[in-house]
Amino acid sequence: MSPWLWLLCILIPSLIILIFIVLFIFIKRNRGHGYFLSKCSAFTRVRFDHLEQRRQTYCPADKKCQCHTKHSSSHIEPNLSCTHRSPTLYMSFAGAAMIVGGVKTTEWRGSISKLHDHAHNQFDVLFLTDPAQCFYLQDPNYQWDGLKYCRELVKLYSTLYQRVILIGASLGGSMVCMCADLATISIAFNPILDPTLLGLPWRIMGAYCPARQAHVIREQVKITMKKINSKTLNRDCVLHIHWSQLSAADRRQAHRIIRSDEEKKSKQTKCLTSVLDFDIDSHFMNSLTGVHIWFHSSGRHALAMHLKRVDQLVPLLRRHLYDILENCRDNTSQEGQQSNTNRASLSVKIHEIDENDVRMTLI
């Protein structure tokens, strides 16, 4: 055997080993973000405990509350005996790990907090992630029962709180649309209503959903929209959907329920209340009923991230949640007035006692 052939036989295995070592180190360093584990789980349907522990993160407004476990749990079981709940619960559904920089356990936290800066942050938040990165269709036991699991979760919390607000983007927005009929207000950015319309690059870098499961999303979104817009529910609820009009991917998703960008008419008139170009001053922005579609002059699928960078996300959310935020301020104001009244009453009583008892002046 020639020396060159020997050298080649040595270099090729060495190069392969080196590539695997570098890949192992890279995966090890990024394991905490869940980049590769989430993709591996999506394609192989293998359950990773490291990711399942990040399925939910509960953050109560009352920091002294000890009714819930501090660490995330794959099986979310609310403590029904908790007495520290705020009137409002936000449920945040995180998007694709590869797009937002890993499995985010507290996506939307900063924006939600800014909304309540003047209401003393009287709200609880449940942050949800999708460890399998398949549109929340996988339940913690990986039996493709994720839709039922999430809907039962939202339904349970809606009985424990006065108001439940759902918010999410991309694949997180998909689950928001599927559960909107169970909440008070639902806000979805660039939801994916039909995963089969996604291109191969997005499926590799974003999220993956088998074609046989994609119909679950399509059917449930249609059912949910009909329920909301027909007003057959026993309470008011609203779904706001925001899409990027200049994004080809978003237009394909929107065409599932809208005929064309020019006509902007619903394929099923019983599904939608309004289809409009985004206008923050529109009276539909703070509507508490119906299904409203908003088209933004943007070409980015990550619309929420873009709006946040240009300081437009919080004003948009504030318009959607105007009535709830005003209610929070009114309650805070009433509590403050009641507290002042009690102090004034106490002061008057002490003053009356002072006139009859000179010892009180020494206190």
How do residues 162-186 score in pLDDT, each as one tens digit?
A: 999 999 999 899 999 999 999 999 9
- The pLDDT value recorded for residue 314 is 93
**pTM score over 0.85:** no
Average pLDDT, the chain: 78
Q: How far lies 176's CA from each of 85, 118, 119, 222, 318, in Å? A: 22, 27, 25, 13, 18
Please determine, for residue 269, whether its predicted confidence score (pLDDT) is greater than 50.
Answer: no
Nearest to 244 by CA among 311, 300, 304, 320: 300
- The pLDDT value recorded for residue 177 is 96
Of residues 268 and 295, the one with the higher pLDDT is: 295
Going along the chain from its start, the domains and CATH numbers come out as 50-331 (3.40.50)
Question: 3-class SS at 78?
Answer: coil
How big is the chain, counted in residues? 363
**Stretch 98-103: mean pLDDT:** 52
**87-96, 198-207, 269-278, 329-338: least confident range:** 329-338
User: For residue 8, what pLDDT band results from cuts at 50, 70 and 90?
Assistant: confident
Please determine, for residue 118, whether its predicted confidence score (pLDDT) is greater than 80.
Answer: no
Residues 6+ apart with CB under 8 A from 62: 84, 86
- Alpha helix (H) residue ranges in 33-85: 35-44, 49-52
Characterize the bridge pairing of strands 88-93 and 124-128.
parallel
The answer to whether 79 touches 67, Cβ cutoff 8 Å, is yes
User: For residue 352, what pLDDT band results from cuts at 50, 70 and 90?
Assistant: very low
- The pLDDT value recorded for residue 240 is 97
Please determine, for residue 278, whether its predicted confidence score (pLDDT) is greater than 90.
Answer: yes
Position 112, amino acid: I
- The pLDDT value recorded for residue 206 is 60
**Stretch 26-35: mean pLDDT:** 54
Q: Tell the residue number behind the tokens 């979760």, with chain if given.
A: 153
Q: How far lies 348's CA from each of 180, 281, 309, 340, 359, in Å? A: 51, 48, 53, 12, 17
How far apart are the two ends of the chain, measured CA to CA in Å? 105
The answer to whether 183 touches 91, Cβ cutoff 8 Å, is yes
2-6, 227-231, 333-337: range with highest mean pLDDT: 227-231
User: For residue 261, what pLDDT band results from cuts at 50, 70 and 90?
Assistant: very low
- The pLDDT value recorded for residue 351 is 38
Characterize the bridge pairing of strands 56-59 and 124-128.
antiparallel
The answer to whether 191 touches 115, Cβ cutoff 8 Å, is no
Of residues 326 and 254, the one with the higher pLDDT is: 254
56-60, 99-103, 240-244: range with highest mean pLDDT: 240-244
The answer to whether 158 touches 209, Cβ cutoff 8 Å, is no
